[in-house]
Structure 1
Amino acid sequence: MASGILLAVSLLTSFLIAISTFLASRILNSRRHRKRAVGFFHPYTNDGGGGERVLWCAVKAIQEEIPDIDCIVYTGDHDASPQSLAARATDRFGVQLLRPPKAVHLYKRKWVEESTYPRFTMIGQSLGSILLSWEALSSFTPLHYFDTSGYAFTYPIARLFGCKVVCYTHYPTISLDMISRVRRRSSMYNNDASIARSGWLSRCKLVYYTFFSLLYGLVGSCAHLAMVNSSWTRSHIEKLWRIPDRIKRVYPPCDTSGLQVSSLLSERPAETPVFISVAQFRPEKVLSVFSGSLIGPNLRARP
């Protein structure tokens, strides 16, 4: 019996050593063959939201500031081609790229889809993003890795591959507010009523959220430069990631060219007040910080 256990342990140890050696060799080989390029990790390039607009504004900024560096987009949309991506940036967001970005297709996007994890969705998607980033960086290893979708668990992987890690965070994966709601047993979007009613389940979820927040802080701290879209996000990210000197607030790029204030004023009833506030959206800020992070240490952003 003892000899059988020793044999099993020996085989398992040999297997783990072989796997570790193989993975280490892959990483070292990729590090040696890094390309002078910026890789944008954006698995959903057809989402049509503000995150995609940030992506294309960032690509445009780098093309304008550093014309001789390639821009690569890691996408899970298999029908995406360089030409279709450039056309979408123009047609959907009005962002005219200098040239089409190169596309690296990802085939393991299911590992970051919400439907894959009916329970423990947050940590499931986060761990799945590790596999997806491994696929991305194994296919093409750039000098600079940009995450524009909020997959913080990919940052340690990118650093293993020798990349400089830059990210734009729209919303933290977990926030202190979410933990507070569970602690107060509030029934809200992130806390099911059945859990809120149970003291035991609430304590279990609180342990889960606390553990996840610690992991989130650890992986987030691997970013060389983190940009956030608001003061609220910055406050939470600073507390979780604990890298305040590497966090910059950059308001999201917002196209206001189509906003015709005069027409709004002419069509409204005389007694109806109009409130318009576009001052906080600074397209040139996101452009300059994305490109500035590659040019040098003098980041042109609001501290």
Structure 2
Amino acid sequence: MGLVLSLLELGVAFSFFFLVAALYYIRNCKRKAQPVVGFFHPYTEDGGGGERVLWCAVRAIQELLPEYNSVVIYTGDYATSESLAARAAEKFGIKLKAPLEVARLHRRKWVDAATYPRFTLIGQSLGSIVLAWEALTTLTPLLFLDTAGYAFTYPLARLFGCVVICYTHYPTISSDMLRRVKTRTSIYNNNSRIANSYLLSTAKVLYYRVVAQLYGWAGSCTHLAMVNSSWTRAHIEELWRIRSRTIRVYPPCDTSTLQALPLRRRVKDGYIISVAQFRPEKAHGLQLEAFRLALKTLQQSPDFQEVQLKIVGSCRNEEDEKRVQTLRDECKRLEIQTHVEFCVNVTYSELVELLGGAVAGLHTMIDEHFGISVVEYMAAGAIPIAHRSGGPMMDIVVDEEGKKTGYLAENAEEYAAAICEVFNLSGEKRLEMAVAGRKRALRFSEVKFDDTFKQAMRAVL
């Protein structure tokens, strides 16, 4: 209890210091916001869905506000205007309308999770204020757009006279996180040592409540909050309490190539695919256990003796590589190693080919905020089997014009049952579901994102 209160006092003192410093700086230097749009995105080369949102948003702003002098990217990467524009074009197929400006951030370590082995949430949140201070004193934009989820920067940006807009992929803290700690549920962000201790769990609940209060106040300082899913919107509205300024804008999913793949699959020779980074929250262990159970049932039929699971993902570092090796070892323990293939760091063309032959696609992350891989399964014609939570349940694996688009599951038994059902569907029924899924996937295109993003921007401008 004392440690948490000390942490709260430290956070209040830290925030108060920056508030006073910002007011003093602004008053004495008489800084004026420049007629530019600044995108706060410290990790501009993460390669995920967040980066695609960044470049689509930049392009949309350039089209919507051509009268602004320029668009500035605040990044901690060693990047140039040319290299970022080239990356947007080569990796995501997004051609920007005009050259960018780059404002290099030298204090990115303040938002790096590795900097805070303990109390990571509050550490990164307060650290983002330091990084935002560097960004705003380097160049103060008229429009400050955060596309990376650093809500604690919004009060500071308001003090600097910016119009603050954000695109939130995932709430820093949510009622679901609090509930799991209160019920002492062991999961990737609540380790068993804390879950098994009443005292530690009570202290963590108090810590989370403190962070949630601070997060709610900081988030409410934005003029417009765009969120990526119904699940995220519900949590943001609950915490930030700015319902009239919160708009759902689905992320842009480039599925045009996948939409061209044939929908008919030879199920007898087909396989199941899983596309996700090798991170703890992706719950690959659950996939292996579910596949083991499904395999026992499927192999009772002579048609499904060689069913395979292909796990596709990228390794960012040595830690991810160790996770892959642990999963390989788990396959041996479960005696399914001859039926599981790991496809690590594949190219996009290889991914398209893999999706084009998949009968079903697995997704096992709890409370996935959206679920781009699930949309990709549906666009490619693979029947999705996703976790019954978050974006996949609320927005994606939803009936399309009364037709089923996929399956939802929670535990290994439910996933196994769904896998078996997909493989035993008649050709006609499977095709009908694939058609409905592909139609549903069109709701999450780049064109839809562009239209909704611009509409939301016009409202605040």
TM-score if structure 2 supplies the norm length? 0.57
TM superposition shift of 1:289: 4.4
Q: Give the alignment partner of residue 273 of structure 1, picking from 430, 439, 450.
A: 430
Percent of matched pairs sharing the same residue = 55
TM superposition shift of 1:284: 3.2
Establish whether residue 248 from structure 1 lines up as the match of residue 247 from structure 2: yes
Q: Is the 8 A contact 2:223 2:245 kept in 1?
A: yes
Give the superposed CA RMSD: 2.3
Question: Quick check: 28-37 or 50-59, which moved more?
Answer: 28-37
Q: Deviations over 1:47-82 (max 9, x none)?
A: 01111111111110111122121111000002x111
Establish whether residue 71 from structure 1 lines up as the match of residue 71 from structure 2: yes
Q: Deviations over 1:62-120 (max 9, x none)?
A: 11122121111000002x11111111110011111012211000000000001000000
Q: Deviations over 1:250-293 (max 9, x none)?
A: 11011121114443426666849353340330423432344445
Letter in 2 for 1:76: G
Establish whether residue 286 from structure 1 lines up as the match of residue 286 from structure 2: no
Q: Secondary structure of the equivalent of 1:144?
A: strand
Question: Quick check: 130-139 or 251-260, which moved more?
Answer: 251-260
**Aligned positions of 1:43-192 closer than 5 A:** 43-69=42-68, 70-78=70-78, 80-192=79-191
1:215/1:100 CA distance change after superposition, 3 Å:
same
Q: Secondary structure of the equivalent of 1:222?
A: coil
Supply the distance in 2 between the matched residues of 1:173 and 1:229 (Cα, whole angstroms): 14
Letter in 2 for 1:284: V
1:76/1:122 CA distance change after superposition, 3 Å:
same
1:112/1:233 CA distance change after superposition, 3 Å:
same
Q: Secondary structure of the equivalent of 1:143?
A: strand
Structure with greater contact order relative to length (CA < 8 Å, sep ≥ 6): 1
1:20/1:220 CA distance change after superposition, 3 Å:
closer
Q: Secondary structure of the equivalent of 1:173?
A: coil
Supply the distance in 1 between the matched residues of 2:224 and 2:233 (Cα, whole angstroms): 13
Letter in 2 for 1:122: L
Letter in 2 for 1:120: F
Letter in 2 for 1:125: Q
Q: Secondary structure of the equivalent of 1:265?
A: coil
1:177/1:296 CA distance change after superposition, 3 Å:
closer
Q: Secondary structure of the equivalent of 2:244?
A: helix
**Aligned positions of 1:226-265 closer than 5 A:** 226-265=225-264
In structure 2, runs of 5+ residues without a counterpart are 1-16, 269-425
Q: Is the 8 A contact 1:28 1:161 kept in 2?
A: no
Question: Quick check: 161-170 or 255-264, which moved more?
Answer: 255-264
Supply the distance in 1 between the matched residues of 2:20 and 2:252 (Cα, whole angstroms): 44
In structure 1, runs of 5+ residues without a counterpart are 1-17, 299-303
Supply the distance in 2 between the matched residues of 1:127 and 1:67 (Cα, whole angstroms): 34
1:167/1:285 CA distance change after superposition, 3 Å:
farther
In structure 1, the residue matched to 2:201 is 202
1:128/1:222 CA distance change after superposition, 3 Å:
same
1:81/1:29 CA distance change after superposition, 3 Å:
farther
Q: Is the 8 A contact 1:85 1:100 kept in 2?
A: no
**Aligned positions of 1:11-30 closer than 5 A:** 23-28=22-27
TM superposition shift of 1:294: 4.6
Supply the distance in 1 between the matched residues of 2:101 and 2:266 (Cα, whole angstroms): 45
